[in-house]
A and B are shown apart, each in its own frame.
Chain A
Amino acid sequence: MLPKFASVIPRTKDEALSWLSSLENPKIIAGGTDLMVKMRAGKHCSHVIDVAGIPELMGVTEEDAKISIGAAMTHARLSAEGTIVRNARSLALACGLIGSPQIRNMGTIGGNLANASPAADSIPPLLIHDAILTLESQGLRRKVALEEAIVAPYVTSIDRKELLSSVEINPLRGYREGYRRVAKRATWAISRLGVAFAIKEDGNRFIDVRLAIGSCTPMPFRPGKVENLLAGSEKNDAVIAEAIRVALEEIKFISGIRPSYAYKLPVLKGILEEVLRG
Chain B
Amino acid sequence: MFIGQDITRVDALDKVLGTAAFAHDLKKNNMLFASVVRSSRPHAVIRKIDVSAALAIEGVVKILSHEDIPGENLFGAIKKDQPFLAEGRVRYKGEAILVVVAATEETAHKASDLVRIDYEDLEYVSDPFLSIQSPVLIHDGGNLLSHRKVIKGDAAKGFESSDVIVENTYSTTWIDHAYMETEAGIGYADEKGRIVVASSTQNIHYKMKEISRLLAIPTEHVRVVQATTGGGFGGKLDVTVEGYLALAVWHTKRPVFMRYTREESLLAQTKRHPLYIVYKTGARKDGSLTAVEVNIVGDTGPYNSYGETVCLRAAVHATGPYEVPNVLVNSRMFYTNNPISGAMRGFGVPQLALAHESQLDEIAERIGMDPLDIRMKNALKRGSLTATSQVLNHSAGLLETLKAVEPFWRERHKRGPGSGFGLGCMYYGIGNTGISNPSSCYLTLTPEGRVEMHSGVCDIGQGSDTVLLQILCDALGMEEMGIDLVRGDTDTSYDTGSTSASRQTYISGMAVCDAAQKLKKYLKHQGYYDGKSLKDIYRNAAASAIPVFEGHFDPPTTAPDPETSQGAPYATYAFATHMTQVDVDEVTGVCKIVKVHAAHDVGRAINVSSVRGQIYGGVAMGIGFALMEEFIPGKSESFDNYYLPTSMDMPDVEVMIIEDREPTGPFGAKGVGEPALIPQAAAIVNAIKDATGVSMRQLPCDMERLKVALEKSKEKGR
Closest A residue by C-beta to B586: A270
A135 and B625 CA atoms in complex are apart in Å by: 47
Do B643 and A263 have beta carbons less than 8 Å apart? no
B109, B587, B592: the one contacting A1 at CB < 8 Å is B109
Q: CB of B646 within 8 A of chain A?
A: yes
B106, B588, B646, B648: residue with the most chain A Cβ atoms closer than 10 Å: B588
Is A241 in the interface zone, CB < 8 Å from B? Answer: no
Please, how many angstroms separate the alpha-carbon atoms of A33 and B105 in the complex? 24
Interface residue? A172 (CB, 8 A): no
B123 at the binding interface (Cβ < 8 Å): no
Would A267 and B587 count as touching, CB distance under 8 A? yes
Contact of A270 among B587, B628, B708 (CB under 8 A): B587
CB <8 Å contact, B588 and A271: yes
CB-CB under 8 A from B589, the residues of chain A are: 263, 267
A274 lies within 8 A of B704 (CB): no
By the criterion of a CB under 8 Å from any partner CB, how many residues of chain A are at the interface?
A: 19
Residue pair A1, B106 in contact (C-beta under 8 Å): yes
Q: Once the chains are docked, how many angstroms separate the CA of A1 from the CA of B645? A: 26
Given that A1-B109, A270-B587 are contacting pairs, would A184 and B711 also be in contact in the complex, using a CB cutoff of 8 Å?
Answer: no
- Cα separation A187 to B645 with both chains bound (whole Å): 9
> Which of A's residues lie within 8 Å of B, judged by CB?
1, 37, 100, 182, 184-189, 192-193, 262-263, 266-267, 270-271, 274
Residues of the A chain whose Cβ atoms lie less than 8 Å from the Cβ of B518: none
The answer on a CB contact under 8 Å between A184 and B703 is: yes
Query: Which residue of the partner chain A has the closest CB to B643?
Result: A184
Whether the Cβ atoms of B643 and A185 lie closer than 8 Å is: yes
- Tell me the smallest distance from the CB of A242 to a CB of chain B, in Å: 20
Q: Which residue of A lies closest to B109 (CB)?
A: A1
CA distance A44 to B184 in the complex (A): 28
Residues of B within 8 A of A188 (CB): 646, 648
Q: Is the CB of B106 within 8 A of A185?
A: no
Q: Is the interface of B mostly helix, strand, loop or mixed?
A: mixed
Q: Please name the residue on chain B nearest to A187 by beta carbon.
A: B648
In the bound complex, how far is the Cα of B588 from the Cα of A189, in angstroms? 15
The verdict on B550 contacting chain A, using a C-beta distance below 8 Å, is no
Task: State whether A185 touches B704 (Cβ < 8 A).
Answer: no
Question: Bound state CA distance, A1 and B589, in angstroms?
Answer: 38
* A185 & B711 in contact (Cβ 8 Å cutoff): no
* A263 and B704 within 8 A (CB): yes
A255 to chain B, nearest CB (A): 17
Inside 8 A of B660's CB, which chain A residues have their CB?
A: none
Chain B contacts for A184, CB-based, 8 A: 628, 643, 702-703
Say whether B590 faces chain A, with CB atoms less than 8 Å apart: yes
Q: Within 8 Å CB of B643, what residues of A? A: 184-185, 189
Expressed in whole angstroms, the Cα–Cα distance for A109 and B137 within the complex equals: 55
29 A-B pairs whose Cβ atoms sit less than 8 Å apart in the complex: A1-B109, A37-B640, A184-B628, A184-B643, A184-B702, A184-B703, A185-B628, A185-B643, A185-B648, A186-B592, A186-B646, A186-B648, A186-B649, A187-B648, A187-B649, A188-B646, A192-B703, A192-B704, A263-B704, A263-B707, A263-B708, A266-B708, A267-B587, A267-B589, A270-B586, A270-B587, A270-B588, A271-B587, A271-B588
With a cutoff of 8 Å between Cβ atoms, the chain A residues found around residue B105 in the complex are: 1
Measured between beta carbons, the chain A residues less than 8 angstroms from B592 are 186
Residues facing A in B631-649 (CB within 8 A) are 640, 643, 645-646, 648-649
Q: Is the CB of A267 within 8 A of B648?
A: no
A residues within 8 A CB of B703? 182, 184, 192, 263
- Nearest chain A CB to B552 CB, angstrom units: 46
Which residues of the partner chain A approach B704 to less than 8 Å between Cβ atoms? 192, 263
Measured CB to CB, the nearest residue on chain A to B593 is A186
In the complex, A10→B105 CA distance in Å? 33
- Give chain B interface residues in 91-138, CB to chain A under 8 Å: 105-106, 109
User: How far is B598's CA from A124's CA once the two chains are assembled, in angstroms?
Assistant: 42
Give the complex CA separation of A188 and B645 in angstroms.
Answer: 10
- B641 closest partner in A (C-beta): A190
List the B side residues contacting A182 at CB < 8 Å: 588, 590, 703
**B residues in contact with A192, CB < 8 Å:** 703-704
- A187-B646 CB under 8 A given contacts A263-B707, A274-B587: yes
B441: shortest Cβ distance to chain A, in Å?
42
The answer for the CA separation of A266 and B585 in the assembled complex, in Å, is: 13
Q: Is the CB of A267 within 8 A of B106?
A: no
Question: What CA separation (Å) do A263 and B705 show in the bound complex?
Answer: 8
Closest 3 CB pairs of A and B: A270-B587, A186-B648, A187-B648
B residues in contact with A263, CB < 8 Å: 589, 703-704, 707-708
Q: Which residues of A contact B109 (CB under 8 A)?
A: 1
Find chain B residues with CB under 8 A from A193 CB.
588
Contacts of B648 in A (CB 8 A): 185-188
The minimal Cβ–Cβ distance linking A115 to chain B, given in whole angstroms, is: 14
- Minimum CB–CB distance from B368 to chain A (whole Å) comes to 33
Cα(A266)–Cα(B106), bound, Å:
48
Contact of B649 among A100, A185, A271, A274 (CB under 8 A): A185
